[in-house]
Chains A and B, each alone.
Chain A
Amino acid sequence: MAALLPITHLLWDTWRGNLTVNPLQDWTFRTGDWALRLLVASLACTPIATIFGFKQASSVRRALGLYGFGYAVVHFFIFIGVDYRFAFDLIWDDLATKRYILVGLVALLIFMPLAITSTRAWMKRLGRQWKQLHKLTYIAVPLAVVHYIWLVKADLRDPLLYATIVAVLLLLRLPWVRTQISKLKYRRVFQKL
C-alpha cells in the first residue's frame, strides 16, 4: 500500500503546481523512477530473506513487483497517451530511432505475462513452471536498467547505481555464490558452538 504514496505525491504536486515548467517530463521521470525502484526492491526480497533470514521480505515480493509494473504501465501511457496523444506516426518514429524506447517496451512486454500470472490461482495452475516463468524478471529488470542508461544525456551516476544493485542482486542468485554464502553461514554457526 505504501507503494501508492509516490503517485499520490505526484498528483498532489501536479495539483499544487509544484512541478517544473515541463510537467510531462516530470510525470514520465517520476513514474519511471518508481517503476524501477519497486521492481528492484522486489528483486531484493529473496536475497534479504535467505541471507539475513528476514522472512517477511518474501511476502511483499509479489506486491512490490506488481506495483512496479503498475507504475511502468502508467509511465507507458503517459508516453503514448498524454505526451504523444496517440500520434502513432510520431511514436513509431521514436520507437524506430531510439533504442532506449525499444528496450523499455521489450521490458514492459516481458512483465505483462508475469503480472497476469501473479495471482494465486495462476501460481497453482502453473506449479513449477510458475517459478521458471517468473525468472524472466532477471532479464526484464536489467533491460529496464539499460533503458535508463541509454536515455541519460550526461550524468550516468543514477543508472549505473541501479545497474550495480541489480548486478549484485542477480549474482547473489548464482548457485556458486549461494553455496559460498551458506558455507559462510555454517562456519559462523560452528564457530559459535
Chain B
Amino acid sequence: MAPKKTIMKIYSSEITPEQTYYAQSQSRRQFFKTAGLVASGALLSACAPSTPSTVDPAPTAIKPEKPVTAGQTDELGDAITQYDAISNYNNFYEFTTDKQGVAQMSAGFVSSPWKVQVGGLVNNPKTFDIDDLRKIAPIERIYRMRCVEAWSMVIPWSGFTLSNLLKQVDPKSEAKYVRFETLLDSNRFPGQRDRSFPWPYTEGLRLDEAMHDLTLLATGIYGKPLLPQNGAPIRLVVPWKYGFKSIKSIVKIDLVAEQPTSLWMKSGPSEYGFYSNVNPEVSHPRWSQSSERRIGEMARRRTLLFNGYADQVASLYAGMDLRKNY
C-alpha cells in the first residue's frame, strides 16, 4: 500500500527556521512517512489558542497574521506555498474574475451561520450545521493544487474526508454520482450578477472518486479557518483534478444517478469535461497542461499525471480513454 499522504500538525514550538529547514526536511519527511494518518481531537484543541474563543469562522482581514503552520513540504518534498500567495491569488468568480481582487472583494463575507444540506439518493438525508462539521475530527493534509490556468500551489488543508460525511447519510445503491452546489446569493456573491455564467457553481464527482481517501472537505487552511477567498466555510479538495473541480462555499451535496453537469461543462463543453483530471497529455486551447508555474518559483515544472497522485488514483480510471473522458 502506498504511504498515507497525511502529515502531522506541527506545533508552533516546532517551527523550523528557514535556514535549518532544508537540512532537516529529509529526516522530517522520513518521520512523516511513519507517522501515518493522524486524526484526533487533541490536535484541534492544539490550534485553538491561535483563534479567538468566539467562533470567527472566516477572518475577514486581507492579510491575516502569519498562521502557525510553516516550513513543511508535501510528500514529494515540495515546499508549501506562502500564505500570502494562497490568500491573495484566487479564482473565485462569485466575487470577481480578477485573481488579485478576490481577497478584497470577499473581505466581510458572512459564512456563519451556514448549513450544508446533504440529500438525494440517500437513506439518511441530513442538514449539517457548519459548527458541527467543524467538530468532526480534523485531519491536516498537504496537497498540490493545479489550476487549469497552468499555475500551481502546495496548500496545507484541514478538514475531513468526504467519505466520512457520505457514510453518515448512507448513499442508496442507485447513487452513482455526487453533485455539489455553491451558495447562490448575488448580494453576498456580487459576481453572480454576471449573467454570462449559469449560476450557481456546481460540480460533480463519481461516487468512487468522492469516496476516495484523498478527497477532502476542507474547513481550514494553514491551520486556520478557511478564508472567504479560499472557499469559506467549507469546500471540496480533490488534489488530482484541476482546481475548478474543488468547489467552494458549499451549501448542498446531492447523491444522484446521472452524471451531473458542472458550471464549466455548461459554459465551455469542449474545454472542460466532467473528469478534468490533471493530465499533461490532454491539451487545452489556452493553457499549457504539459507544464505549470509553481507559485513562488521562477522556472516551469513539468506537470505530473494526476498531479502526482497517480499511484493512488490511476486505478479509478483503469480501462478508460482519458483523452475522451477529459
Q: A interface vs B, CB < 8 Å? A: 20-25, 82-85, 87, 90, 93-94, 97-100, 150-151, 153-155
Could you tell me the distance between the alpha carbons of A94 and B82 in the complex, rounded to whole angstroms? 29
Query: Which A residues are CB-close (under 8 A) to B298?
Result: 23-24, 82
Question: How many CB-defined contacts (below 8 Å) exist between A and B?
Answer: 58
State A83–B288 Cα separation when bound (angstroms).
12
CA distance A24 to B298 in the complex (A): 8
CB-contact partner of B285 in A20, A83, A98, under 8 A: A98
User: Which residues of chain B have a CB within 8 Å of any CB of chain A?
Assistant: 82, 84-85, 88-89, 93, 97, 99-100, 149, 151, 196, 283-286, 288, 290-291, 293, 295-296, 298-300, 302
Q: How far is the CA of A169 from the CA of B53 in the complex (A)?
A: 63
Residues of B contacting A90 in the complex (Cβ-Cβ under 8 angstroms): 288, 290-291, 300, 302
Closest to B98 in A: A155
A-B contact pairs, 22 of them (CB 8 A): A20-B89, A20-B99, A21-B82, A21-B89, A22-B151, A22-B293, A23-B298, A25-B151, A83-B300, A84-B300, A87-B300, A94-B288, A97-B284, A97-B285, A98-B283, A98-B285, A98-B286, A100-B285, A150-B285, A150-B286, A153-B286, A154-B93
Q: Which residue of A lies closest to B86 (CB)?
A: A21
8 nearest A-B residue pairs (beta carbon): A97-B283, A21-B85, A21-B89, A21-B295, A93-B290, A90-B291, A94-B288, A155-B97
**Of A22, A24, A85, A150, which is in contact with the most chain B CB atoms at under 10 Å from its CB?**
A22
Interface of A is mostly: helix
Q: Please, how many angstroms separate the alpha-carbon atoms of A85 and B300 in the complex? A: 8
Question: Is there contact, CB below 8 Å, between A22 and B295?
Answer: yes
Task: Report the bound CA distance from A97 to B300 in whole Å.
Answer: 18
Which residues in A have their C-beta under 8 angstroms from that of B149?
Answer: 153
Known: A21-B296, A84-B291. A154 touches B97 (CB 8 A): yes
The distance in angstroms between the C-alpha atoms of A22 and B295, with both chains bound, is 6
| A23, A82, A94, A151 interface centre (most CB from chain B within 10 Å) | A94
